[in-house]
A and B are shown apart, each in its own frame.
Chain A
Amino acid sequence: MAILNYESIRYQSETKLLELAVEISESSSLKKARLKIYKASKIRYFLKAINSASEVIESTKLNSIYQCLQHTAEITSFPTVPEIGVTTVPAILIGLQGADGADGADGAQGVPGPTGPSGTGSVTLTYTNINSTSLVLDTVTNDPLEGTNSIGVRWDIFAQRQDASPSPMVVGYVIGFRNNAGSVDYFSNVSTILTSSVAFQAVASGDGLDLITTRDTGTQFWQIHVKRYMISDFALV
């Protein structure tokens, strides 16, 4: 049995009754409208039964009245639950298992995996709008410079002036290390473009090293990018 929405049927039946009453009223001859009068009366009787006796009629009989009302009022577009047929399982014939087939061709190369994590000991430092004539860019303490597997630190440097066009640049590196006398030292190799006053060097700072930059006096704004690498993992003897 289909599941019915009683309120919806009641409302649409009243709508149909009103439509028929208007059509009858607009008809020039009541004899010609006789079938409409019969149908409207039928709908009206069903509605009266529902409204008057819905509390005393059994639910199955009440449902029958609603179904008759649905049919009489031609509520054909009423959304009821559709009947879904049972699909039978298809018969599949199974024979004896055959011999294994030949190996297939190699598959295509897979996509590259994700980039691995960065190695340890690499640190990037960025400075912008630097107007100082002397600045400590980085400090390396004594600890990583000591030990049997660490001999120094390398700083890759890129510097560019921000308030000039074309922009003076400095590109290069500085290596700081502990020499055979036990004291710190450094080696640098930088290339300057449109400037000769900017310099980079490593100086002793306690038992460690500082990377510093210096330049001539005057108002100048520089951006400086430094990447630090520890020179280590050598088995010193």
Chain B
Amino acid sequence: MATEINSLSLAISNTDLSSSTLTDNNSTTNQLDPYVAYVDAFKVSYQSTESPLITTPVGSIYPDPFSSLTASTDGTFSLSITSDGWYKFKYIAVPVFVAVTETYAVNDLLYDSADDNLYRCIQGFTGINSPNTRPDLFAVVTDPSTVFDDIGTASDPANIHYQEFDTIVRVNTNKAVGNAATTAALEQCGDCTRSEDVELYELLTVMLDGMAIADGRGLYVNGEKIARRAERLI
């Protein structure tokens, strides 16, 4: 069965949200070295509707024309994030064909840099066989995004690593809290009832903490709802 990993992390720049980076910290993926990684990224609504994101591999020269799935040779992807909320990443790491004797079972996956295609083994063997020259042993996977759906089924590729990574992005709300704190700090009347600035600051901090708690507990629908409401205040 495919190996589930837990080594993905999402780094979002506070100065330029459009250059956020999804990275595989390679705690176990190195075992596949050399490998190529695919990511299918989505923005998810509170109704769990998945909308594809565009990802670009960093340092890669193998873009995939289908959906948002692209290949990267170092497990790092850049993506453009413009809004807070629920994001989902379906990530697989597949070994690259090298000319050494290996054993492959049916459904194993292999990337061939000769034609930049992803292949599935259709007949098990032990030896050295380039996938793009052996149509009797390998079939092209025309849509790599379908691989994730095979995990846990009879077509499970046993030689890959995968991870489904969900997170609640809250960078915009965090920046808004800072701005609201600055504005509220300018309130000079110590006897006044709470001004609107202070109320906005408190509201945004409640929403920010709410998103953090939702992210930590895997309650992504709640995190997305809060993010959408906070967006209207920013």
Contacts and interface: CB of A to CB of B under 8 A. Distances in A.
Interface of A: 14-15, 17-18, 20-22, 24-26, 30, 37, 40-41, 44, 47
Contacts of A25: 207, 210, 225-226, 228-230
Nearest to A38: B202
Contacts of A40: 206, 210
Q: 10 shortest A-B CB distances, which residue pairs?
A: A21-B210, A25-B229, A41-B202, A40-B206, A18-B213, A25-B226, A25-B225, A22-B222, A14-B213, A18-B210
Contact of B226 (A21, A37, A41, A47): A21
Interface in B204-234: 205-207, 209-211, 213-214, 217, 219, 222, 225-226, 228-230
A26 B227 CA distance: 11
A25 B227 CA distance: 8
Interface residues of B, number: 19
A21 B202 contact: no
Given A18-B222, A21-B213, A25-B225, 13 more contacts: A15-B213, A18-B219, A20-B206, A20-B210, A21-B207, A24-B206, A25-B207, A25-B210, A25-B226, A25-B228, A26-B225, A37-B203, A41-B206
Contacts of B226: 21-22, 25
Contacts of B187: none
A186 to B, nearest CB: 84
B199 interface: yes
Contacts, number: 55
Interface of B: 199, 202-203, 205-207, 209-211, 213-214, 217, 219, 222, 225-226, 228-230
- Is chain A's binding surface mostly helix, strand, loop or mixed? helix
A20 B226 CA distance: 10
B209 A37 contact: no
Contacts of B202: 37, 41, 44
A208 B219 CA distance: 95
A16 to B, nearest CB: 10
Most buried by A among B199, B209, B214, B230: B209
A30 B232 CA distance: 11
Nearest to A34: B199
A139 B199 CA distance: 110
A17 B199 contact: no
Given A14-B213, A37-B199, A22 B225 contact: yes
A44 B206 CA distance: 7
B214 A24 contact: no
B201 to A, nearest CB: 9
A17 B225 contact: no
B207 A24 contact: yes
A104 to B, nearest CB: 72
Contacts of A44: 202, 205-206, 209
